[in-house]
């Protein structure tokens, strides 16, 4: 029942798997490794079919069993153990089309449970031998999973046999070439794998960038409040001439000197004057006492402080000047 061509085919398949596994290890990342190993799992049955069809050309059907979990195993058919080493795939030759066989799958690793199942060859309806490819599911549920069936051609090699045959496969971006030489019943296999280059995405041509000029800052025009003055400044932005006229109108409306001083103080709290404006305001007050009081209060609201000395000319008595001197000494 078991033909002699089974052993060299098994050796070729083992060589293929080990070579492919080494190439998978050389992948630079996990994703690449998965691609390599998935290629082995998906196309191992095709490789076996390729070698089996070429090398055996024997009477009867061929059944190829592949472990989905990629675990090594040996196999027995109807109580007879195949004389082959453990592998992820085993091949049984010389089987009768339409027959049923008891199969025992013995995993090498104890982490996988051994399998007893029935192998049924009925895909061709008894009309001739063929090549069956079965998968042993990772979670086995009493039946092998038929992946493919290819009827065997009665002829395909000359009388002297086929000396050389090759096959190419492309999986994703990985190209694999498998070649086989047969000579006097012996078999050798070559395996080549080439990673296809990723398409190079051209970078978009960068347009020359025009430097964005910041908006021009408006030219600050310096406002001259006191012609020729460059000394110490006591407050910012003195009131305009029009505003000062309205301020003076309110002071003039007050009837008594004390009332005029109080109105002037209220105005000064929120306004800035130049010394010329302050002098005009002091002259509106009738007595030195009120003038001195207002002059002291206005000190912190004068723009051109270094011209403050002009206030001295307003007072009628020198005692008022002396008292203002004492006040300024405290400020300095």
Write down the pLDDT at residue 135: 93
Q: What are phi and psi of 67, to 5 degrees?
A: -80, 120
Write down the pLDDT at residue 21: 54
Which tokens hold the place of 81?
A: 């153990």
List, in sequence order, every beta strand (DSSP E) within the chain. Answer: 61-67, 73-77, 80-81, 89-95, 100-107, 115-120, 130-136, 145-151, 164-171, 174-183, 186-195
On the CB side of 217, CA atoms within 13 Å amount to 3
Q: What are phi and psi of 71, to 5 degrees?
A: -95, 145
Write down the pLDDT at residue 57: 46
Write down the pLDDT at residue 228: 87
Which tokens hold the place of 15?
A: 């060589």
DSSP 234-262: SSSSPPPHHHHHHHHHHHHH-SSHHHHHH
Which residues in the chain land under pLDDT 70?
Answer: 1-59, 83, 124-128, 153-213, 215-222
28: buried, middle or exposed (CB in 10 Å: 19+, 13-18, 0-12)? exposed
Residue whose token pair is 């002259």: 283
Contact 67, 140 (CB under 8 A): no
Residue 147 CB neighbours (<10 A)? 15
Q: How many residues does the chain have?
A: 332
Q: What are phi and psi of 325, to 5 degrees?
A: -60, -45
């Amino acid at each position: 029942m078991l033909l002699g061509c089974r052993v060299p085919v098994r050796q070729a398949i083992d060589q293929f798997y080990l070579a492919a596994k080494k190439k998978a290890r050389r992948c630079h990342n996990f994703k690449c490794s998965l691609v390599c190993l998935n290629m082995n799992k998906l196309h191992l049955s095709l490789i076996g079919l390729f070698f089996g069809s070429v090398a055996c050309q024997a009477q009867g059907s061929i059944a190829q069993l592949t472990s989905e979990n990629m675990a090594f195993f040996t196999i027995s058919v109807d109580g007879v153990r195949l004389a082959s080493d453990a592998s992820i795939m085993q091949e049984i030759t010389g089987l009768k089309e339409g027959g049923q066989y008891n199969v025992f799958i013995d995993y090498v690793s104890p982490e996988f449970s051994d399998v007893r199942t029935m192998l049924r060859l009925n895909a061709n309806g008894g009309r001739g031998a063929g090549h069956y490819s079965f998968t042993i599911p990772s979670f086995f549920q009493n039946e092998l999973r038929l992946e493919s069936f290819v009827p065997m051609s009665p002829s395909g090699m000359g009388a002297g046999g086929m000396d050389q045959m090759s096959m190419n496969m492309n999986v994703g971006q990985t190209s694999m070439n498998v070649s086989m030489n047969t000579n006097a019943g012996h078999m050798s296999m070559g395996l080549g794998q080439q990673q296809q280059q990723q398409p190079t995405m051209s970078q978009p041509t960068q347009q020359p960038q025009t430097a964005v000029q910041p908006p021009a800052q408006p030219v600050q025009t310096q406002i001259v409040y006191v012609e020729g003055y460059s000394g110490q400044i006591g407050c910012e932005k003195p009131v305009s001439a029009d505003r000062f006229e309205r301020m003076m109108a309110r002071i003039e409306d007050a009837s008594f000197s004390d009332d005029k001083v109080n109105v002037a103080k209220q105005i000064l709290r929120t306004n800035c004057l130049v010394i010329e404006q302050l002098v005009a305001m002091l002259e509106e007050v009738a007595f030195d006492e009120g003038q001195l009081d207002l002059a002291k209060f206005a000190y912190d609201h004068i723009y051109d402080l270094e011209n403050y000395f002009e206030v001295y000319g307003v007072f009628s008595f020198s005692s008022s000047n002396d008292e203002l001197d004492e006040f300024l000494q405290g400020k300095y």
